[in-house]
Amino acid sequence: NRIPIASPVRTAAIVNRYYVHAKKNLGQNFLVDLDAVQGIVRAAGVQAGDQVIEVGPGIGSLTEQLLLAGGKVAAYEVDQTLPEILANELPEKINGQDRDECFKLIMKDVLKADFHADLDGFFDLTKPVKVVANLPYYITTPIIFNLLEADLDFTSLTLMMQKEVAERLAAQPGSKAYGPLSIAVQTRMSVDLALEVGHGSFMPQPKVDSAVVVLRPLKEQVEVGDRKQFDRVVKLCFAQRRKTLANNLKALVPAKEDREKLLAGLDLDPRQRPEQLAIADFIKISRAINEMNK
Ligand code: SAM
């Protein structure tokens, strides 16, 4: 019957006891809203025995609920003042298990993680893992790309981030938020917006609202061809959002004739704005430019 860490009273008690100053430069905004935290755990579908990687446990608000849901949690953290707090404040026994059996703190920048080496002996990496995190917002996109590139079998990534970034991840063609980030992620993962969380759910309160996104590996791979080339084409197509496709393509295909021929061959209207194009269109353009350069 302990009061959860994810509650204003318990968080205030921890803050007072350890003189915690939330570090802005580390993106520290602690969740003090049990409903929101349990919403994240539910969105991730964490069940007994699930292997969960958490980024940034902070003082343990989300960690505690992940453990209570039966997750086996490995958490990356960089703030050296937190191990003592987590050791004292997380429950010592969880669902009858000693904490050491189901929780491992890895004091390391998650961007420098070597997941196989770090998790060896704690996780069985022949089995899938889930990532669940209230991310440090200042490095949201590098963390997402690092995870996407990681050689791990993910069931899902359930990530809380700034609402605007969540909207960009989920955006569909025709919307303002649609752009290179939407395309880079959606060619690898499905994106679902699970819940929105207002700034009042945090301590200290951030200026922005937040949202939780669930990313899952696509059932069918999207073949983009040469990934580097594809990313470059997408980036350049969006270099000036308000200009036409033909205009943006100048950087890649300098001769007007060539551009017109390329787009006509793909049945694409050169006057369209980049945000009107489906992912499949960018794949076609990237492939065609590759062919042209052969
Ligand atoms: N999970 C806690 C919660 O929900 O209350 C804290 C979330 S807070 C938004 C982000 C956490 O990420 C902080 O604890 C911060 O110290 C940690 N962090 C910041 N940069 C990090 C990095 N490069 N690698 C791992 N953790 C980091």
Distance CA 185, CA 179 (A): 10
Instruction: Grade residue 292 by pLDDT with cuts at 50, 70 and 90.
Output: confident
pLDDT digits (tens, 9 = 90+) for 33-42: 999 999 999 9
Query: Does the beta carbon of 55 lie inside 6 Å of ligand 1?
Result: yes
Average pLDDT value for residue range 224-239: 94
How many angstroms separate the alpha carbon of residue 269 from the centre of ligand 1? Answer: 45
Determine the residue of 21, 28, 137 to mutate for testing ligand 1's pocket, defined as the one with the most ligand atoms within 8 A of the Cβ atom: 28
Determine the residue of 18, 26, 52, 140 to mutate for testing ligand 1's pocket, defined as the one with the most ligand atoms within 8 A of the Cβ atom: 26
Q: What is the per-residue pLDDT for 1?
A: 62
Q: Which ligand 1 atom lies nearest to the CA of residue 32?
A: 5
Question: Are 71 and 89 a contacting pair, CB within 8 Å?
Answer: no
Cis link prior to 8 (omega < 30° from 0)?
A: no
Query: Does the beta carbon of 237 lie inside 6 Å of ligand 1?
Result: no
The chain-wide mean pLDDT, for the chain, equals 96
How many angstroms separate the alpha carbon of residue 228 from the centre of ligand 1? Answer: 30
pLDDT digits (tens, 9 = 90+) for 99-140: 999 999 999 999 999 999 999 999 999 999 999 999 999 999
In this structure, of 103-112, 156-165, 283-292, the range with the lowest mean pLDDT score is: 283-292
Alpha helices in the chain (DSSP H): 8-18, 34-44, 61-68, 82-89, 99-102, 115-119, 140-149, 163-170, 180-186, 227-237, 245-248, 256-265, 279-292
How many angstroms separate the alpha carbon of residue 133 from the centre of ligand 1? Answer: 8
